Structure 1
Amino acid sequence: MSSSPAAVKAESLSQKDTWISIGIIGMLFFIFGFVSWVNAILIPYFKITFTLSNFDSYLVAFAFYISYLVMSLPSSYLLKAVGFKKGMMYGFFAMAVGAYLFIPAALTKTYELFLLGLFTLGTGLAVLQTAANPYVTILGPKERAAQRISIMGIFNKGAGILAPILFAAVVLRVGDSELFQQLDQMSPEAKDAATTELIRRVINPYAVVGTVLVALGVFVRFSPLPEIDTEHESEEVAQANSGKTSILQFPHLILGAFAIFLHVGTQVIAIDTVIPYANSFGISLLDAKVFPSFTLAFTILGYLIGISLIPKFISQVNVLRICTLLGTVLTLLIVFASGPIQFWGMTVDISILFVVLLGLANSLVWAGIWPLALDGLGRFTKVGASILIMGLCGNAIMPMIYGYFADLYSVKMAYWVLLPCYLYLVFYAVKGHQIKSWKS
């Protein structure tokens, strides 16, 4: 069926129902963040325990995020068939299967099985993201969409701050820094025993995560979250879309999907590479584990600025322009700046701080792109959202490109890959979102 029988128009919801919905969707974004950003520490952890190259270690991000490319469009058809709430439940159940796959992967010490688990986790998230992002975008006035998405971002990145720290607290031990340094000097038998013990530490936390995800799926299915109708267009939108038969006839959406691809790629590079980058300056994993949290803290700062200023003092499109320009400048500073500074009780290279500050530059890009890309889609909204979610495969591909150049040149010079990304984002913020016809 095309729409749930209980589906309602977003504008018909009371203020109370709207805020209840925002709270429930905020919980979903917290889960997105927790499961996604723990990859920031899984990458260096697997790199050590499986003795991987930079390129191979970023297969963690690739396996997790490539599922968005594969599963986003099927997710939109699932949502059209069963509605938002049942679709979200199925998404949580798929994520739980992925988490449980970590148990046999750890017991058999099989990297490929870990990657399958990550792909399955990403599959569930593809369903949830395809539902939650358009849901919060249309859940209120269009000009305040970036503000609502910023609130969701606080839930998402707040979980991202906690995830690496909690994972490190559960999995890492006080003497692990010395153990990591000694692995290469161990005999093959001793090294195998040590790395087997290390990798099996993930069993308990992911068993707990899987169980929580099952419970959340049941909760969302029977929660008071209303089913939003996206199938019936307003008269104005219906007239504008009367001659359109394909999602490809919305260039501002397609260009926006590529913008999402590049944006999430820059975001995951900033977060998932900062620990290995700090390691290149001699900072240990135990000390460097805080850097992803600082990056996400700056992202949350950006969200708070957005919530305070949009749309009363500045429009969401102008905020998008400022953030993309800031990312361009910070990329150049990462590559060209160097020198020691004191940060969080450590002596670090100043370029590490500029990587951390990318969190601020990236903060309101996602929130700026979504309302611009979905503008005027009407009955194409769910499919359009799935196209945007497919852009999340940038999280899979961009770190691999970074890892390739890090192995070929250096972890510092590999940050050059960010420059063309931010330049395109500047283009979309200034011009690309205004292109409503391929002939214009």
Structure 2
Amino acid sequence: MMRAAVVESEISDSKLPMVIIGLLFFIFGFVTWLNGALIPFLQTICELSAFEAMLVASAFYIAYTVMALPMAAIIEKTGYKNGMALGLALVALGALVFIPAAYSRMFGIFLLAQFVVGSGLTILQTASNPYIVRLGSQETAAVRICIMGLLNKGAGIVAPIVFAVLVMSGISGISTVELDALSPLAKEAKLDELAGQLVSPYLGMALLGGILAVAMLFAPLPDIDEGVVEGQEGTTVTLGGLMKFPRLVLGSVALFFYVGMEVIAGDAIGLLGIQAGMDTADAAVLTSYTMIFMVLGYLYGTAVIPRLMSQQTALLISAILGILFTLLVMTGSLENTALSAASLSLLGLPEVPNAVFFVALLGFANAMCWPAIWPLALDGLGKFTSRGSALLIMGISGGAILPPLYGHFADTGDGQAAYLIAVPAYLFILFYAVKGHKMRSW
């Protein structure tokens, strides 16, 4: 009862800042999970292999590795609020780059646009995650991140649907078989027509991002005190200094594997849907299925942490479920839809093959990884918090490396069997939950 009262009191005291940061989490959730719809769409209009299509995710997530430390340095100089405004401005700029990419159908320009958007989200993530962790006590940090995650993944449910309405509406005949049946000229015209559908939505996104960047400059966000842990007085914050914290370094590796699997479960689910015979329009909304289960996972986390279980126990359960669901993806049917017929269809959602259903269930397994790893990794960092957050953000590069690796195995073998790469990823997360987060020295 005491812990429940603490949670309610902290949420009440930090209500307005949480609302503002929650809006940010919704925004970068929307932008991030557009990739799930964008990947099969670009695979079609740019005529890409599975490996090439997953480079869409790579260009987006590699920005986190390249830009994390520079963005952390900017935040240290400008403060969290101004850093968030800069992040929103970069997202708006990246959205504008999508316009020439759509008109030219040049895959390289699409990748550049993704990198710019990813750079904007890097500074947003670097600023907002430690901000939420520091808004209250350490033991309730996962609850606050869960609340943010509900907004983030709620946006992930909405984003593919909005994409389908704005981009795919009124366009028919876009399955691979139907496109291949057209003459070369007719096919080019159809692909140009599809690409042109991207212009208006991304122009609107750019305008909204610019408006929000200006608004953030005037948002009533209080400064947070990172504090100085005993023994840190006069210490210069350097990358080498961060290496003294095993729980931080191992936490970044755990995030690397988690984000890689989150992206594969959310963005590559459409590729498995296409392998199962679904057309591009239907496959483009499959990310919403994964996000639905992630939202359920966040609701579960909000309800049980810290009332019924600790953050590390939730992470342990997530890792075990990840291994289990991965094995079921690899052995599930690509024709039988019994599981979704008994569950998702009750919500009015179309049925999907069992193997695809288990990919969506990975969303539930993944949900508690991010909220649990952040507070465990940042515990006791004091003045190292900002740069430590940047190191954790660099772990997001797993979303740049593991998805193309999955795409390579899917191209050269079987899209189901390629999910085997998830097993070592979840095993490392399991290690971090059991031992890694406890390590105070090497």
Contact 2:40–2:283 (8 Å) recurs in 1: no
1:237–1:139 distance in 2 versus 1, CA, 3 Å: farther
Q: State the one-letter code of the partner of 1:384.
A: G
Q: Give, in angstroms, the shift of residue 381 of structure 1.
A: 0.3
Aligned pair partner of 1:26 in 22, 25, 28: 22
Q: Amino acid of the residue matched to residue 313 of structure 2?
A: N
Deviation at 1:260, TM superposition (A): 0.4
Paired with 1:127 and 1:415, the residues of 2 have a C-alpha distance of: 31
Give distance in 2, aligned partners of 1:37 and 1:182. 27
1:23-102 equivalences under 5 Å are 23-102=19-98
Distance in 1 of aligned mates of 2:79 and 2:174: 52
The equivalent residue for 2:110 is: 114
Q: What amino acid is the match of 1:23?
A: V
Structure 1 residues 213 and 393, CA, compared in 2 at 3 Å: closer, same or farther?
same
2:286 aligns with 291
Match of 2:191 in 1: 195
CA contact (8 A) 2:409 2:418 kept: yes
> Structure 1 residue 428 and structure 2 residue 428: aligned?
no
Which of these residues, 269, 274, 277, is aligned with residue 279 of structure 1?
Answer: 274
Kindly indicate whether residue 413 of structure 2 is the aligned counterpart of residue 409 of structure 1.
Answer: yes
Q: What CA RMSD, in Å, does the superposition of the two structures yield over aligned residues?
A: 2.1
| CA spacing shift, 1:15–1:341, aligned 2, 3 Å | closer
SS at match of 2:277: coil
Aligned equivalents of 2:11 and 2:119: distance in 1?
33
After superposition, give the CA deviation of every residue in 1:228-261 in whole Å (9 maximum; x if it has no partner). Answer: 132x315x4748x899971111111001001000
Partner-residue secondary structure (3-state), 1:360: helix
* Structure-1 residue corresponding to 2:399: 395
- Following superposition, the deviation at residue 226 of structure 1 comes to 1.0
Distance 1:282 1:434, change over 3 A: same
Does residue 226 of structure 2 align to residue 222 of structure 1? no
Match of 1:336 in 2: 331
Local SS of the residue matching 2:223: coil
Q: What is the match of residue 4 of structure 1?
A: none
Q: Indicate conservation of the 8 Å contact 1:62/1:399, yes or no.
A: yes
> In the alignment, which residue of structure 1 is the partner of 2:374?
370
Retained in 1: the 8 A contact 2:237–2:387?
Answer: no
Pick one of 157, 160, 163 that aligns with 1:161: 157
Q: What SS class does the counterpart of residue 392 from structure 1 fall into?
A: helix
Kept in 2, the 8 Å contact 1:274–1:292? The answer is yes
Partner of 1:129: 125
Separation in structure 1 between the aligned mates of residue 166 and residue 336 of structure 2, nearest angstrom: 32
- Aligned partner of 1:327 in structure 2 is 322
In the alignment of these two chains, the number of paired residues is 424
Shift of 1:108: 2.0
Structure 2 contact 237–384 (Cα < 8 Å) conserved: no
Work out whether residues 150 and 307 of structure 1, in 8 Å CA contact, stay in contact via their aligned partners in 2.
Answer: yes
CA–CA separation in structure 2 for the residues paired with 1:243 and 1:368: 25
- Which among 204, 207, 217 is matched to residue 203 of structure 2? 207
Who is 1:8 aligned against? Answer: none
- Deviation, 1:317, is 0.8
Which residue number corresponds to residue 265 of structure 2?
Answer: 270
What is the CA–CA distance in structure 2 between the aligned matches of 1:26 and 1:226, rounded to whole Å?
15
CA gap of 1:16–1:334, structure 2 versus 1, over 3 A, is: closer
Match for 1:144: what amino acid? T
Seen in structure 2, the aligned counterparts of structure 1 residues 84 and 185 have a Cα distance that, compared at 3 Å, is same
Task: Please give the TM-score of this superposition, normalised by the length of structure 1.
Answer: 0.92
- Residues 148-187 of structure 1: pairs in structure 2 closer than 5 A: 148-177=144-173, 180-187=176-183
Q: Give the corresponding residue for 1:139.
A: 135
Cα shift at 1:194: 1.5
Q: Do 1:251 and 1:437's aligned partners in 2 also have CA atoms closer than 8 Å? A: yes
2:379 partner amino acid: D
Q: For 1:112-131, what per-residue CA distance to the aligned partner results, in whole angstroms no more than 9, with x for missing partners? A: 11110110000010001000
Indicate if the aligned counterparts of 1:247 and 1:380 stay in contact, CA closer than 8 A: yes
DSSP 3-state at the match of 1:143: coil
Query: Quick one: which amino acid aligns to residue 119 of structure 1?
Result: F
- Give runs of aligned pairs for residues 250-261 of structure 1, distance below 5 A: 250-261=245-256
Q: Distance in 1 between matches of 2:287 and 2:99?
A: 26
**Structure 1 portions without partners, runs of 5+:** 1-12
- Checking the alignment, whether the CA contact within 8 Å between 2:10 and 2:136 is kept in structure 1 is no
Q: Distance in 1 between matches of 2:84 and 2:350?
A: 43
C-alpha deviation, 1:383, in angstroms: 0.2
Q: Tell me how far apart the structure 2 counterparts of residues 346 and 386 of structure 1 sit (CA, whole Å).
A: 40
Equivalent-residue separation in structure 2 for 1:14 and 1:407 (angstroms):
49
- Alpha-carbon deviation of 1:346? 5.1
> Equivalent residue for 2:311?
316
- 8 Å CA contact 1:340–1:347 kept in 2: the answer is no
Equivalent-residue separation in structure 2 for 1:218 and 1:199 (angstroms): 30
For 1:99 and 1:407, locate their aligned partners in 2 and report how far apart those are by CA, in whole Å: 30
User: What residue number does 1:306 align with?
Assistant: 301
Contact 1:177 1:285 in 2 (8 A): no
Distance of aligned partners of 1:204 and 1:174 in 2 relative to their CA distance in 1, 3 Å threshold? closer
Deviations 1:397-432 (A, max 9, x none): 110000000011111111001010000100000011
Cα distance change on mapping 1:221 and 1:243 into 2, 3 Å: closer
What residue in structure 2 maps to residue 352 of structure 1?
A: 356
The CA deviation string for residues 250-296 of structure 1, in whole angstroms up to 9 with x for no partner, is 11100100100000100110011111111211122333344211211
Structure 1 Cα separation of the partners of residues 321 and 359 of structure 2: 12
Q: Determine the C-alpha separation between the residues in 1 that align with 2:96 and 2:15.
A: 33
SS at match of 2:15: helix
Q: Is the 8 A contact 1:87 1:128 kept in 2?
A: yes
More deviation in 329-338 or 396-405?
329-338
Q: Distance in 1 between matches of 2:241 and 2:19?
A: 34
What's the TM-score once normalised by structure 2's chain length? 0.92
